[in-house]
Amino acid sequence: MRNCAAVGLIFANMHDEAVRECTAVRSMGSLLFGGRYRLIDFVLSNMVNAGITKVGVITKTNNQSLMDHLGSGKAWDLSRKNAGLYFLPSYNSDDALYQGRLSSLAEVIPFLRRSKEDYVILSDCHMVSSIDYAPMLQAHIENEADVTVACCRGAVPHLTDIPVMQLNEEGRVTDLLIGRLSDDEATYGVGIYIVRKDWLIRVASEAAARNLQHFERDILQKHLHEFYIQGYVVPELMLPIYSLESYFRANLSMLDGEVRQQLFPKSRPVYTKLRDCTSVRYGLHAHVTNSLVADGAKVDGTVKNCVLFRGVNVSRDAVLENCVVMQDVTITGQCALTNVVADKNAVFREGCVLHGTDSYPVYIAKNAIV
C-alpha cells in the first residue's frame, strides 16, 4: 500500500508501569525483544510496510535509549526531507497529567495540523505483532467510523486501563468496559486506533479544555452511543507485554518456528537498527539446543531453550536454561541460571546460581554485578 493517507502516532511510554523492572531505565518502546529488536521496531515496521511516511513518536521520560536506537529513522526509510520520523517529547513534567493518552495528544495538535494526511493511526508499543494496517484503514473508511479500535479475542491482559468490548454482527462496539474483570476470554483492545485527523484534533482540544485525560474512559466509553466506534478483530498473532512474566514468555515463544513465521512474514519485514558485529562464536565446549543466539555472542558453555542477544558472553562450564539474556551480558564459569531475565551489561561472577520459575522469573537489573 503506497502513499498511505494516514500519519502515525506512537506512544513510546504508554504502559511503562506494567513492566517496571525493565522500564525503570528505558521506555516501553525501547524494551529489547527477540535477540536483536526493540518493541517499537514492530510498530514502526507495521506503519512503514503500510506506506506511512510520516510518524511521530510521543515520548515522556527515559527516552535516551529510544532516541539512540531510532536515530534519524534511516533503518525504516524515514530519514526524509519531507515527512519522515519526528520525536514529540512531552513538555508536561506532572506525571498525573500524563497518565492518560489525551494529555499527550493535546500537546501534538500543532504536529497534526501541519500534517496533510486525512487519518491518524495511534499505536502503543506493548503488543508484539506484524499487523497489516491496509485492510483496517480500508474498513475504517468504508464504514465511515469515527474510531476504529483494533482488538482480539482471548485472555485479557492484566492492564488497569484496557478496554473490554462487545461487538454486534456488523462489528460496531455496543458496550465498553475498562479493566480486566475476570479470567474468562473476552474481546479487548490492543492499543491501536484509527481516527480522522480533524475529529482527533477537535476531540483532543475539547478534552484539554475540560481537563480530561483518559481516551478510553472519557471519550470512547462516555460517548459510546454518540460516536460511531467500530471494532476490527486483528487476524495476526499478537503477543501482549503486560508484566515481567509475559515479557519472559513472549521472548521464549520465539523459539517456536511457527511463531517466528507469523511475526516475521516475508511480505512485511521487521526493520531495526543495524549493529555491525561478527557472527556467533561457538567454543569447543559449547552445547546449544533450541535457542536463539544473536550475532556477536560468544558461547562456550551449555545453553538450552534461551534467547541470547548481541554481545553475550557465556563462559565454559556455565549452564543456562530458559533464560532471556540481553545485550553484552557476561556469564562466567560455573554459573547455573534457570528462568532468568538478565538486563544489559549485567555480569555474573563465577559460581553464581539463580533459579526462577516459569511464572516468576528472576530479573537482574542493567549493569548489575551478581
CATH number of the domain within which 343 lies? 2.160.10.10
- Same-domain status, 89 and 144: yes
CA dihedral 220, 185, 124, 84 (to 10 degrees): -100
Identify the pLDDT of residue 160. Answer: 82
Judge whether 357 and 339 are in contact, CB under 8 Å: yes
- Same-domain status, 208 and 329: no
Number of C-beta neighbours around residue 43 at 10 A: 28
Spans of the chain, pLDDT less than 70: 1-3, 91-99
- Same-domain status, 48 and 106: yes
Judge whether 234 and 131 are in contact, CB under 8 Å: yes
- 268 is a domain residue: no
The full 3-state SS of 168-220, as one line of letters, equals CCCCEEEEEEECCCCCCEEEEEEEEEEEEHHHHHHHHHHHHHCCCCCHHHHHH
Distances (CA, A) of 35 to 66, 137, 328: 17, 31, 12
Identify the pLDDT of residue 104. Answer: 87
Determine how β-strand 336-338 pairs with β-strand 319-321. Answer: parallel
- Same-domain status, 318 and 217: no
- Same-domain status, 228 and 323: no
Identify the pLDDT of residue 97. Answer: 43
Identify the pLDDT of residue 94. Answer: 53
Number of C-beta neighbours around residue 280 at 10 A: 17
Cell 454482527 identifies what position?
169
List, for residues 140-175, the tens digit of each pLDDT value.
999 999 999 999 999 999 888 899 999 999 999 999
Range of the domain at 211: 6-263
Q: What is the CA radius of gyration of the chain?
A: 21
Identify the pLDDT of residue 275. Answer: 83
- Same-domain status, 54 and 111: yes
- 100 is a domain residue: yes
Identify the pLDDT of residue 198. Answer: 96
Identify the pLDDT of residue 180. Answer: 79
CA 80 to chain centre: 24
Q: Which of 308, 310, 315 is closest to 331 using CA atoms?
A: 315
- Same-domain status, 216 and 287: no
What are the b/e assignments for 329-358, b being 16+ CB within 10 Å?
A: bbbbbbbbbbbbbbbbbbbbeeebebebee
- Same-domain status, 159 and 192: yes
CATH number of the domain within which 237 lies? 3.90.550.10
The total domain count for the chain is 2
Contacts of 135 (CB under 8 A, 6+ apart): none
- Same-domain status, 235 and 302: no
- 81 is a domain residue: yes
